[in-house]
Structure 1
Amino acid sequence: MTADREAHLVELVDGGGDAVGQATVDAAHRAPGMLHRAFSVLLADGEGQVLLQRRAAVKTRFPLRWGNACCGHPTPGQAVTDAANARLGEELGMGPVPLAEIGVYVYRAEDPVTGRVEVEYDHVLLGHIGADHPMRPDPAEVAELRWVAINEVRAGIGAEPDQYAPWLAGVMAKLNLDSHRAL
């Protein structure tokens, strides 16, 4: 499954997020990397917690690090929320949830283990579910899931950044508690 995903197409973008072409996932993540559209889903419960996933060991980028609920890439022209809900199904085995974009995070990160590079125009999406929401994580995608208080996630990233995906701090920065009182 991981090898198949590397052949999928991603949408290359300029610094403003406008489409400028396409490439395979594999090509876009080889050094020096190509700026492309991505998404990061934050799932929050009503108790001030977010769902973290520990990425599976077979991931080609940042395996075994803690990240947000799920991440991925829309295909060229695909709606970001449609792609995100498809990935929630693939990774976490859950049905679609309403998602709202809460910002964009543009970043570059090199994986010292795999040599792969992330250069992403990352749409940060927020969904609300209960901590008891049924999920069936795919072990080829997810090593572990846990609900963590937002302030604990931020403190953990500061104390042990190498335990977390390099985009998580930027994604979490888009989560403004004043704007999202349901948290």
Structure 2
Amino acid sequence: MGDEEIVLLDEAGAAVGTAPKASSHHRATPYHLAFSCYLVDDAGRVLITQRAHDKPTWPSVWTNSCCGHPAPGETLRGAVLRRLGDELGVRAGAGGFTLLLPEFSYRAEMDNGVTEFERCPVVRVRVAPPEAGTVRPNPVEVAAAEWRTWDECLELAGRPEASPWYRLQVEQLDPLGIPADWPAAPTSLLPPALSW
């Protein structure tokens, strides 16, 4: 996790400080800012990834395309673009962004007690060739990456190898229709600590 800083939040989603990412994820992880991204290609498929096997939180689980933590002062789009490059080698254009679930928040605990506790807005990023065909997973972050149909994504959400946040997000995304039709949510619903 390096020297990355996470943004700590109050219950309303306002920033109340920062902390080192590496030392903040434990049995009493503080509420903090994050995001989840779903890459969608021209055929409406979603890129699903398996987290690297030696990650300290939820190793080896299958989940959405990429996740991350906006740095202090970083916009949501800036954070997503940064992590798409770091995790998947994808250089997406800033124009294909859609905010989907600005108020998504969750708390989940691993078997060893390590907890994730995040306000985690969810976005879709549309990618077309050549970006969709040039996914290059960083093995430090991602063990595998596969393009799947939405029906396959729904099936994964019912399996134990799916991440807890993925299962919760898919439950909220499914009523919105197929990935290509997911509607944009108002950016005004983002937490006060995060700009679009």
TM-score of the pair, normalised by structure 2: 0.81
Q: Choose from 119, 122, 129 the match for 1:121.
A: 119
Deviates more, 1:81-90 or 1:149-158: 149-158
How far the C-alpha of 1:31 sits from its partner, in A, is 1.4
Q: Choose from 43, 62, 65 the match for 1:66.
A: 62
Task: Among all aligned residue pairs of Structure 1 and Structure 2, give the percentage whose two residues are the same amino acid.
Answer: 32
Instruction: After superposition, give the CA deviation of every residue in 1:131-181 in whole Å (9 maximum; x if it has no partner).
Output: 7431211111111111111122122222x2x20111002222443227942
Secondary structure in 1 aligned to 2:154? Answer: helix
Secondary structure in 2 aligned to 1:145? Answer: strand
- How many residues matched? 176
Q: Choose from 16, 19, 26 the match for 1:20.
A: 16
Task: State the partner residue of 1:108.
Answer: 107
Deviates more, 1:34-43 or 1:10-19: 10-19
Structure 1 residue runs of 4+, over 4 Å off? none
Alignment of 1:74-85 (within 5 A): 74-85=70-81
Paired with 1:47 and 1:11, the residues of 2 have a C-alpha distance of: 36
Paired with 1:134 and 1:178, the residues of 2 have a C-alpha distance of: 23
Secondary structure in 2 aligned to 1:163? Answer: coil
Task: State the partner residue of 1:30.
Answer: 26
**Structure 1: 5+ residue stretches without partners:** none
Task: State the partner residue of 2:190.
Answer: none
Secondary structure in 2 aligned to 1:118? Answer: strand
More strand by share: 1
Task: State the partner residue of 1:144.
Answer: 144
